[in-house]
Structure 1
Amino acid sequence: MDFESLKTLITVIDEKSFTKASQLLRLSQPTVSSHIRHLEEEFNTVLIDRSPKRFDVTPTGEMVYKRARQVLGVMDKARKEVLQYHEQMKGTVKIGASYTVGEYILPSLLRAYDQEFPEVDLQVTIANSERINREVQLHSLDIGLVEGRVADQGLSSFPFMKDKMVVIVPDEHPIRRCETLAFEDLQDHTWIIREEGSGTRAMMESMLESYNIRPRKTITIGSNHGVVQGVKEGLGLSFISETVVTHTAAEHLIMPLPYIQPTTRYFSVVTPMSEEEITEQVQAFIGKVRELFQLS
């Protein structure tokens, strides 16, 4: 429905004049006439019987006029309600995020939320998934965005994004020079891993165990960026989020390896189990996650 044309119709009928309506609406008279014609075409009826000396609203014109007033009244009420909603939406949301989510995904979410709810203060904690889950449990954080699915007691969660795990290998690593990689060629290398409690570390340990990969040694680095830099410097191989690799311009380090199948995990939103403990500010943040990631 063309709300501008409805507004024009109301003004023309109230003023009983196309000229006065054009002055009030700051539109040219041809534009006012065009709005009325558009409505008449849409409803397939004459709304105003006009001539140089006459101005009569037809019976169908009266019908559309009354409904137009109702429609615009409802829209005006909706605008006021939305304005009140945003004005009332104040307070603070304490958000926790695992390193991968916090460093590469959360910033765009924060921007979208802040644009819609500028009066809400946002406090962000970035730590490993285990710590974020624990702090949501303890109500130190209102909501968490972590790696993997969550089954901790007292927490509710849902996945919002898929993430692929990939092996990254230094440019000059010996396995890059193998024409055909045998299973033994994957053994006894240095692997760079994340710290205890990291979702990425849990995925790597699971992968190494599942495929019987035997590291010669491991080097622990407590950040995604540090892991990628370590691989770039030739310290060892790693198993890390493709999201991280993409954001650190390290795609050239990805190396598909035989015997190791691609692995997919999820990023999840974590909240307290009881809905009564979830504030309207947090509900709005969840709504923004669902909107941006097109979740039902």
Structure 2
Amino acid sequence: MDLEAMKTFVAAVDQQSFTKASKMLNLSQPTVSFHIKNLEKYFEADLIDRSPKRFIVTQTGELVYQRSRQILGLIDKTKAEVLEFHKQLRGKLHIGASYTVGEYILPSVLKEFDEHYPAIDLEVQIANTERINRAIQLHELDIGLVEGQVNHQGLKSEPFLEDEMVVIVPRDHPIRERASITFQQLQDQTWITREGGSGTRAVMDSMLESYNIRPKKLITIGSNHGVVQGVKEGLGLSLISKTVVEHTAAEQLIKKLPYIKTTSRYFSLVTHANEEEISKNVQLFVGKVKDLYRLSEK
């Protein structure tokens, strides 16, 4: 298997262009085409539909792309492990975190870890829960800290911190002026929510469905800070992590509503289910999180 051809193919698909891939890899365009043709010859199938005006990955190409990402990720992981073996406690640790964890919980964990293992370089990616889980599955990340459920094949999760969810309501919202609130008055309100794939969004969707709350409108904002700011500006109500509320000085917006029982969720560590794929650096990071949050080993 030609690993350079595999890298070239992945770059071409990521960039959706042979020309952009050649610039990114510092290769000539004919070399890019040659690498991909060699890969197609190896698999005896077309991987890219070479239409003059469109860049289309075939179904076979999509399969080869996903597997190539995994293989290249494993090779990078192996290189890091070899480095770790020869130069103890060095190398890189690629950490993924969902927005709530990454913005408000992870920084203190990173500080503690860095103080104990200063020779390990840390690289953090913050995205929603779905994207972080997917990146770990593809070996693009070594470990994740997320909210919400983890149902991806080949991954395992372990909760490390409980997180309360609260309803926040604009200061001048009519609901605040009522001495008592009927179930009907909770209907047809505007709710501000995170994007699909977010653990926070999943909890809100579940809450609205469980309590038969019918939104008048949903406003989707792709960050926790944006959601809180939207409520502060009077756009609508929201269900969000109390951790976020406390870090954005928005405690005054919390409102207990009748008929709605707020809930808690857990932040979880996500790693590969296969222990052989978990590096020493990941084990050290997991151990540090467990120490910080006083979790006993099972």
Give TM-score, length-normalised by structure 2: 0.70
Alignment-derived partner of residue 209 in structure 2: 209
Structure 2 counterparts to residues 233-248 of structure 1, below 5 A: 233-248=233-248
**What is the CA–CA distance in structure 1 between the aligned matches of 2:140 and 2:152, rounded to whole Å?**
16
* Mapped partners of 1:249, 1:233: distance in 2: 14
Residue 181 of structure 1 corresponds to 181
Q: CA deviation at 1:138?
A: 0.6
Contact kept, 8 Å, 1:149 with 1:267, in 2: the verdict is no
Residue 94 of structure 1: how far off its partner (Å): 0.3
CA distances 1:205-252 after superposition (whole Å, capped 9, x unpaired): 000000011111111100000000000000000000000000101000
1:277 aligned onto 2:277: yes
Contact 2:160-2:293 at 8 Å conserved across structures: yes
Aligned pair count?
213
> In 2, distance between residues paired with 1:160 and 1:276?
22
Task: State the 1:135 CA deviation.
Answer: 0.5
Shift of 1:117: 0.3
Partner of 2:190: 190
1:158 matched to which residue of 2? 158
The alignment-based identity, stated in percent, is 67
Aligned residue number for residue 103 of structure 2:
103
**Corresponding position of 2:93:** 93
Task: Tell me by how many angstroms 1:151 deviates.
Answer: 2.6
Measured against aligned partners, the alpha-carbon deviations of 1:161-201 in whole angstroms (never above 9, x if no partner) come to 00010000000001001111000010111100101100000
2:69 — aligned with what?
Answer: none
Residues in 2 aligned to 1:194 and 1:151: alpha-carbon distance in whole angstroms: 20
Quote the residue 1:121 is aligned against. Answer: 121
SS of 2:268's equivalent in the other structure is strand
Counterpart in the other structure of 2:292: 292
1:28 aligns with none
1:88 aligned counterpart, secondary structure: coil
1:288 counterpart SS class: helix
SS in 1 for 2:290: helix
Q: Aligned partners of 1:154, 1:92: CA distance in 2, in Å?
A: 22
- TM, length-normalised to structure 1: 0.70
Tell me the residue number matched to 1:60: none
In the alignment, residue 152 of structure 1 is paired with which amino acid?
Answer: H
Alpha-carbon distance between aligned partners in 1 of 2:219 and 2:127, rounded to the nearest angstrom? 19
1:156 aligned counterpart, secondary structure: strand
- Structure 2 distance, partners of 1:284, 1:245, is 31
- Aligned partner of 1:23 in structure 2 is none
SS in 2 for 1:125: strand
Cα deviation for residue 253 of structure 1 reads 0.2
Equivalent residue for 1:254?
254
Structure 2: distance between partners of 1:247 and 1:236 = 20
Q: Which is greater in Rg?
A: 1
- How well do the aligned residues superpose, as a CA RMSD in angstroms? 1.5
Q: CA deviation at 1:149?
A: 3.3
* Partners of 2:97 and 2:127 within 8 A in 1: yes
1:188 aligned counterpart, secondary structure:
coil
Q: Which residue in 1 is equivalent to 2:62?
A: none
Equivalents in 1 of 2:236, 2:292: separation in Å?
A: 36
How far the C-alpha of 1:148 sits from its partner, in A, is 2.1
Instruction: Give the counterpart letter for 1:129 in structure 2.
Output: T
Distance 2:100 2:127 in 1: 9
Q: Distance in 2 between matches of 1:281 and 1:189?
A: 47
Question: Which string of whole-angstrom CA distances, capped at 9 and with x for unpartnered residues, describes residues 21-60 of structure 1?
Answer: xxxxxxxxxxxxxxxxxxxxxxxxxxxxxxxxxxxxxxxx
Unaligned runs of 5+ in 2: 1-84
The CA distance in 1 between the partners of 2:149 and 2:293, in whole Å, is 17
Alignment match, 1:132 = 132
Structure 2 CA distance, aligned partners of 1:276 and 1:153? 16
Q: Deviations over 1:122-155 (max 9, x none)?
A: 0000000000000001110000000023232100
Counterpart-to-counterpart distance in 1, 2:136 and 2:88:
25
Q: Do the aligned partners of 2:149 and 2:199 also contact (CA within 8 Å) in 1?
A: no
**Runs of 5+ unmatched residues, structure 1:** 1-84
Query: What is the letter of the counterpart of residue 189 of structure 1?
Result: Q
Using the alignment, how far apart are the partners of 2:155 and 2:162 within structure 1? 20
SS in 2 for 1:208: helix
Which whole-Å CA distance do the structure 1 matches of 2:206 and 2:149 have between them?
Answer: 15
